[in-house]
Amino acid sequence: MKLIPIPAFNDNYIWMLHDERRALVVDPGDAQPVLTALAQHGLTLTAILVTHHHGDHTGGVDVLRQRTGAQVYGPATEDMPEPLHRLTDGDIVEVLGLRLEVLLVPGHTAGHIAYWGQVPGADPVLFCGDTLFSAGCGRLFEGTPAQMLASLTRLAALPDATRVCCAHEYTLGSLRFARAVEPDNSALLNYQAQAQSLRQQLQPTLPSSIGLERAVNPFLRTHLPTVAHAVQQFDPMARDPVAVFAALRTWKDQF
Q: Point out the catalytic residue in the list 18, 27, 30, 52.
A: 52
Distances (CA, A) of 198 to 40, 70, 75, 209, 225: 24, 33, 33, 16, 31
Question: CA 186, CA 179: separation in Å to the nearest integer?
Answer: 10
Q: Point out the catalytic residue in the list 18, 30, 53, 56.
A: 56
Q: Point out the catalytic residue in the list 18, 53, 112, 168.
A: 168
Peptide bond connecting 5 to the previous residue in cis, omega within 30 degrees of 0: no
Strand order in the sheet with 12-18: 2-8, 12-18, 22-26, 44-49, 71-75, 85-87
- Catalytic annotation present for 53: no
Q: Point out the catalytic residue in the list 18, 53, 54, 112.
A: 54
Q: Point out the catalytic residue in the list 18, 53, 108, 112.
A: 108
- Catalytic annotation present for 56: yes
Question: CA 182, CA 227: separation in Å to the nearest integer?
Answer: 7
Question: CA 73, CA 120: separation in Å to the nearest integer?
Answer: 22
- Catalytic annotation present for 54: yes
Question: CA 234, CA 236: separation in Å to the nearest integer?
Answer: 6
3-state SS, 22-61, equals EEEEECCCCHHHHHHHHHHHCCEEEEEECCCCCHHHHCCH
Q: Point out the catalytic residue in the list 57, 79, 85, 240.
A: 57
Residues 205 and 195: beta-carbon distance below 8 Å: yes
Closest to 136 in 3D by CA, of 63, 236, 218: 218
User: Where in the sequence numbering do the catalytic residues fall?
Assistant: 52, 54, 56-57, 108, 130, 168
